[in-house]
Amino acid sequence: MANNTTGKIDRRRFMGLMWWGATGVLALQTLGATVLSLWPRTRAGAFGAKFDIGKPADYPIGSVTYFSQGLFYLTRVRTSDGGDGLLALYRRCTHLGCVVPWRKDEASEDDLMEEGRFNCPCHASIYDRYGVVHGGPAPRPLDLMAIVQEGDRVLVDSGNITERTTFVDSQVARV
């Protein structure tokens, strides 16, 4: 009899421990999944990562090169002191966020080339190679992504985006 009672208590205790154990494991899994889903992740080669542009000399003045994975255009522009350098323009229209395509055959809005500008298809905002607005409702120039040097590599950091109100020389990466 005493053995049976002890056996029942042990079984109950065992079942209780099993239940708490299973509940604990489930809670930990849920917590882990939640933390992982909130943790900022950046995949190499995807928007948010850094992109190696190769040799800066491969981008002549007036050129506009699209990096589809990074969602930016790399343009080489002139500065007021006669120098030049690169801008990485985020392709997102500053009006309502549409993707802004480059139109190489449209009349240019800058003095670097005769043709080429950005035309937003949504409400007709127009930007030049500096990302500066020349028409439409866009309230400010295209946003800039940071251009950084790591050793002898030049990278565009698509996770480092800056808004601006106008173009100034200091925005140009002299590479």
- Positions touching ligand FES (CB under 6 A) are 93, 95-96, 98, 120, 122-123, 125, 136-138
**Cβ at position 145, least distance to ligand FES in Å:** 18
* Closer residue to ligand FES (CB): 99 or 168: 99
Query: Are the CB atoms for 88 and 72 separated by under 8 Å?
Result: yes
* Closer residue to ligand FES (CB): 45 or 139: 139
∠ CA 158-163-165, rounded to 5°: 145
**Cβ at position 101, least distance to ligand FES in Å:** 11
Residue with tokens 């590479």: 175
Smallest CA-to-CA distance from 54 within 140, 131, 156 is with 156
Residue with tokens 């849920």: 30
**Cβ at position 144, least distance to ligand FES in Å:** 17
Can you count the helices (H) and strands (E) in the chain? Answer: 1, 10
* Closer residue to ligand FES (CB): 11 or 123: 123
* Closer residue to ligand FES (CB): 93 or 145: 93
